[in-house]
Structure 1
Amino acid sequence: MTDRPDVLVLRKAAHGMPIEQYAAALRERLPHHEVTLARTPEQEREGIRDAEIVTGMWLTDDLLDEAEALRLFACGYAGTGHLPRERLAQLDVTVTNASGVHGPNIGEHVLGAILAFSRRFHEGFRRQRRNEWRSFETHELQGSTVTVVGLGAIGESTVNRLAGFDVETIGVRYSPEKGGPTDRVVGFEDDDLHDALAETEYLVLACPLTETTQGLIGTSELVTLPPEAVVVNVARGPVLDTDALVTALQRGWIRGASLDVTDPEPLPADHELWDLGNVQITPHNAGHTPEYYGRLADIVASNVRHVTESGEYDGLANQVPL
């Protein structure tokens, strides 16, 4: 057993929830460690000087300048592209992320969006606001094909929640030979992707933003989708070409879109997407869940215990290659 390293929690909160809740969740799971919350820039600068383990949503170069003992940064987000990764690698700092934290809540968000378009709840809401008792046509999810791009924790959670709806599922991933929970798995090659899109009623984007996925769904892909298709984006805005999407929605190339992320983001108040009746927009809100800090603390506390018992800052859960 090694000395118990202290844990420093940085001040930036996630999803509008007080960062104090995260610190409290870590203290509950690590009763024999000192968990310190830095609530001001000065406290961050002072605290990081001697901290071996730091956790938070961001870590700037200026703050790294003050770090003298840092061995592990446990990022509170699943994505780490905003971190100074090259410098962290040079300093031999291990980085972990929050992958898996969002699986249940974003899976539920996607399922809700699909059901809303299937039963056309948005049209029901419009008629309710007008006090209008008049029937409207709807759709059935049963028998549809749902294509999920990205089979990480969020994609897998989405597929699992679709299991009881009698749908055909297609997964799209970098390494299709790995398989997945879907009925079929294809790669990102143009022909394979377009073959899948041609039979897709609901297209779910749940992949990370990379060179491969940036602009993945543009004019050609939207034209390939059937006219009754709905696009659900819980990935990142730039995965879906915004101008092409607007054109597709206006011209009836697809039936609708549910967007939790946009490009640009935040979506400007005068953007035409706001005024399209076949678009559902949420403000990057799918990741919000009251369980966020608890799930994140489970991952981080497990890694802290690993370090305490082994003295090793390698082989950690959610370790990110730098």
Structure 2
Amino acid sequence: MNEGNTDEFDVLVLRKGTHGIPIEQYAAALRERLTDRTVRLARTPAQERELIDDAEFVTGMLLSDDVLEAATNLEVFACAYAGTGHLPLDQLEERGVAVTNASGVHGPNIGEHVLGAILRFTRRFHVGQRQQDRREWRHYQAHELQGSTVTIVGLGAIGQAITERLEPFGVDTIGVRYTPEKGGPTDEVIGFDGDAFHEALARTDYLVLACPLTETTRGLVGREELLTIDPEAVLVNIARGPVVDTDALLEALRGNQIRGASLDVTDPEPLPEDHPLWNFGNVQITPHNAGHTPKYYDRLADIVAENVERFDAGDGADLRNQVL
């Protein structure tokens, strides 16, 4: 297909990919699901500006100001990320454009990432690896996950996926969410009220952060929280770096106030080469990698293709994952 022509089409895919996976794979996944519709891929900035002029349904990672300015007929923007804070939401709302996100795409892979991090610290595989590197055969003490309490901050699609994967391990779970009255899949559900949160921290063995970065969650885990949590507890952050006060975390690590931390996100990010967090043997750092999965575009295409069909059927006000 010549991506530069101006033939009519049903869905426009913008050019930015993610996780190093070519955006062509996303367009192909949409075509497999929408066999009776035309999916166009804009591969250059000029093509984005040209093709979006006639587009009603557009999907992509980003929506720059110049591309949005050229969008005279846009009705739906299907964001290919779970987060939409980077989008010009005020302008889209003024134009009456519906916005959806990719919530749920990351559930399985991030759930597995968190489970792996917890098991790593439970069985202390990092200690075994260090001894293997030294060819040192020496027993070391480990922990047991069964009977532990895992507190999960954020019970969206990712928090739910984490909870599901913990079920076979015989743990007690506490969920933290803005609206605890909604309940959730965890054994207990609490809100962000300071007293309730600290009471939960006092009996937490593994604290998993899976929440968006908001005014409420920025600095949620600071000095007071790290003093409250049990010294044998482990922090796992797959949310956003600023949910944790980095200076307070460093103080806790240096003072043995916490057993360890698994950080897929940091503040600052990327983590500078000379940052002290790199030097702790009980800190696992991954480069914001928990979101990577070879199934990303397939899961995203399932959501977006369903919404294309709803939109074409006149159900534009009832789109899956609609945030605006």
TM-score by length of 1: 0.97
The residue number in structure 2 matching 1:315 is: 318
The residue number in structure 2 matching 1:28 is: 32
**Separation in structure 2 between the aligned mates of residue 12 and residue 264 of structure 1, nearest angstrom:** 24
The residue number in structure 1 matching 2:244 is: 240
In the TM superposition, what are the counterparts of 1:74-85 in structure 2 within 5 Å?
74-85=78-89
State the secondary structure of the residue aligned to 1:274. Answer: helix
Partner amino acid for 1:314? Answer: A
Q: Deviation per CA, 1:266-305: give whole Å up to 9, x if none.
A: 1111111011111000011101111110000000000000
**Separation in structure 2 between the aligned mates of residue 307 and residue 165 of structure 1, nearest angstrom:** 42
**Separation in structure 1 between the aligned mates of residue 56 and residue 194 of structure 2, nearest angstrom:** 46
Query: Conserved in 2, the CA contact under 8 Å of 1:74 and 1:97?
Result: yes
**Separation in structure 2 between the aligned mates of residue 214 and residue 302 of structure 1, nearest angstrom:** 34
2:209 maps to 1:205: yes
- Alignment equivalent of 1:221, drawn from 190, 205, 225: 225
The residue number in structure 1 matching 2:107 is: 103
Q: Deviation per CA, 1:183-212: give whole Å up to 9, x if none.
A: 111100000000000000000000111111
The residue number in structure 2 matching 1:279 is: 283
The residue number in structure 1 matching 2:159 is: 155
Query: Conserved in 1, the CA contact under 8 Å of 2:101 and 2:323?
Result: yes
In the TM superposition, what are the counterparts of 1:1-322 in structure 2 within 5 Å?
6-310=10-314, 312-321=315-324
Partner amino acid for 1:226? Answer: D
Partner amino acid for 1:119? Answer: R
- Any unmatched runs of 5+ in structure 1? none
- More relative contact order, 1 or 2 (CA 8 Å, 6+ apart): 1
Query: Conserved in 2, the CA contact under 8 Å of 1:260 and 1:283?
Result: yes
- Any unmatched runs of 5+ in structure 2? 1-7
Give how far 1:115 is off: 0.2
Query: Conserved in 2, the CA contact under 8 Å of 1:5 and 1:308?
Result: no
Query: Conserved in 1, the CA contact under 8 Å of 2:9 and 2:40?
Result: no
State the secondary structure of the residue aligned to 1:208. Answer: coil
Partner amino acid for 1:162? Answer: L
State the secondary structure of the residue aligned to 1:148. Answer: strand
Aligned residue pairs, count: 317
Give how far 1:5 is off: 6.1
Query: Conserved in 1, the CA contact under 8 Å of 2:78 and 2:99?
Result: yes
**Separation in structure 2 between the aligned mates of residue 294 and residue 160 of structure 1, nearest angstrom:** 22
Pick which of 312-321 and 89-98 moved more: 312-321
State the secondary structure of the residue aligned to 2:47. Answer: helix
Give how far 1:313 is off: 2.1
**Separation in structure 1 between the aligned mates of residue 9 and residue 163 of structure 2, nearest angstrom:** 39
Q: Deviation per CA, 1:215-273: give whole Å up to 9, x if none.
A: 11100001100000000001111111111111111111100000011111111111110
List 4+ stretches of structure 1 deviating above 6 A.
Answer: none
State the secondary structure of the residue aligned to 2:313. Answer: helix
**Separation in structure 2 between the aligned mates of residue 133 and residue 16 of structure 1, nearest angstrom:** 39
Partner amino acid for 1:55? Answer: T
**Separation in structure 1 between the aligned mates of residue 43 and residue 160 of structure 2, nearest angstrom:** 36
Partner amino acid for 2:103? Answer: S
**Separation in structure 1 between the aligned mates of residue 177 and residue 303 of structure 2, nearest angstrom:** 25
Q: Deviation per CA, 1:85-118: give whole Å up to 9, x if none.
A: 0000011110000001111110110000000000
Percent of aligned pairs with the same residue? 69
Give how far 1:44 is off: 0.8
State the secondary structure of the residue aligned to 2:58. Answer: strand
**Separation in structure 2 between the aligned mates of residue 262 and residue 108 of structure 1, nearest angstrom:** 20
TM-score by length of 2: 0.96
